Amino acid sequence: MSRRLLVAGNWKQNGTVASARALTAEIIAGLTKSGDGAEYLICPAFLHMAAVSQAVQSSPGVPLQVGSQDCGVHPDGAFTGDVGAGMLVDAGCSYAIVGHSERRQLFGDTDALVAQKFGVAQEAGLVPILCVGETLEERESGKLEQVIHRQLDAVLSTVWSLENATSTSLPVIAYEPVWAIGTGKTASPEEAQEVHHLIRSRLADNAGQISDQVRIVYGGSVKPDNAAELFAQSDIDGGLIGGASLKAPDFLSIGKAADQLMRNGL
Ligand code: PGA
């Protein structure tokens, strides 16, 4: 198994241009240029993207990419307030998160819209990070599998084109149990592994062998003290980190756990 762990920071709606630039500089300063560790990604607010990309681009060799937290579905045109995939590529993005539970819950992103965003991002050359995850109520009422399958199938049935994908262009899945996001409650490594395995099996049913190469990252209160245990699970390929990604030392320390695992051959 040769999946490169991904350590992704989701900065959400936080900061200023100056603080985003400073956080980026601090992260860059803490990363080594060697290519044998994890891949790092930071996802700032749209408005901070240009400043962050500029800082990343002026540090070649550092294993750090820039991604967006969402992606509009329309091409350029009369769509007031929206940001399209082409604009994201132009601003230096290489990844786009789609279907984050905050978008689903607070902004009405449906499975169909998420699938559309996924497709548009992929078409523009961005690597989509599809977020899936159940609420506490869904978990407690035994609907976990049903919810995960529904969220995955919406994408698998419409736009997922794994046949032609190479391992570097493969989409990423983020399993983020809604009850663990920003709450300090983390799924135990075993609980998370179980769902990651469920996700990989569903991918395998639809896309066969290549699903072994798809990275499935975990998100939901990942911190420096639980990252190593989570990332060591066989189907967990890194993390999508919210709160802890806003502090460079915490983000870097989570990353070190991933680097270490990669250097030890997992
Ligand atoms: P958290 O957020 O790490 O603050 O729980 C994760 C996310 O929402 O992606």
Q: What is the CATH number of the domain that holds 177?
A: 3.20.20.70
Report pLDDT for 152.
95
Does ligand 1 lie within 6 Å of residue 125's CB atom?
no
Structural domain contains residue 226: yes
Report pLDDT for 106.
97
Structural domain contains residue 97: yes
Distances (CA, A) of 118 to 10, 53, 73, 130, 220: 17, 22, 9, 7, 21
pTM of the model: 0.95
Structural domain contains residue 34: no
Any catalytic annotation for residue 100? Answer: yes
Report pLDDT for 184.
85
Where is pLDDT greater, at 165 or 29? 29
Cβ atoms of 32 and 244 closer than 8 Å: no
Cβ atoms of 24 and 42 closer than 8 Å: yes
For ligand 1, atom 2, name the residue with the nearest CA.
Answer: 242
Q: What pLDDT digit, counting tens, does each position of 237-256 carry?
A: 999 999 999 999 999 999 99
Report pLDDT for 79.
97
Does ligand 1 lie within 6 Å of residue 128's CB atom?
no
Report pLDDT for 35.
75
Question: Which residue in 100, 134, 138, 196 is the catalytic one?
Answer: 100
d(CA 133, CA 155): 14
Q: What pLDDT digit, counting tens, does each position of 23-61 carry?
A: 999 999 999 887 789 999 999 999 999 999 999 999 999
d(CA 111, CA 113): 6
Structural domain contains residue 56: no
Residue 167: pLDDT above 70? Answer: no
> Taking Cα atoms as reference points, which of 241, 210, 207, 206 lies closest to residue 226?
241
- Reported as a pLDDT band with limits 50, 70 and 90, residue 193 is very high
Does ligand 1 lie within 6 Å of residue 187's CB atom?
no
Residue 163: pLDDT above 60? Answer: no
Report pLDDT for 27.
98
Percent of the chain with pLDDT over 90: 84
> Taking Cα atoms as reference points, which of 172, 25, 174, 166 lies closest to residue 103?
174
Q: Rounded mean pLDDT of the chain?
A: 93
d(CA 175, CA 194): 11
Structural domain contains residue 48: no
Closest ligand 1 atom to residue 241 Cα is 3
Domain encompassing residue 230: 71-263
Residue 164: pLDDT above 80? Answer: no
Residue 182: pLDDT above 90? Answer: no
Number of domains present in the structure of the chain:
1
Q: What pLDDT digit, counting tens, does each position of 62-103 carry?
A: 999 999 999 999 999 999 999 999 999 999 999 999 999 999
Report pLDDT for 165.
61
Three-class SS state of 149 = helix
Report pLDDT for 76.
93
Report pLDDT for 32.
86
Report pLDDT for 205.
87
CA angle 261, 262, 266 (to 5 degrees): 60
Residue 1: pLDDT above 90? Answer: no
Cβ atoms of 136 and 87 closer than 8 Å: no
Structural domain contains residue 256: yes
Does ligand 1 lie within 6 Å of residue 250's CB atom?
no
> Taking Cα atoms as reference points, which of 3, 57, 47 lies closest to residue 25?
57
For ligand 1, atom 9, name the residue with the nearest CA.
Answer: 242
CA 113 to chain centre: 18
d(CA 132, CA 52): 27
Write out the two tokens for 121: 């991002």
Report pLDDT for 93.
97
Structural domain contains residue 153: yes
Q: What is the mean pLDDT of residues 176-199?
A: 93
> Taking Cα atoms as reference points, which of 63, 43, 36 lies closest to residue 259?
36
Structural domain contains residue 58: no
Q: What is the mean pLDDT of residues 190-201?
A: 96
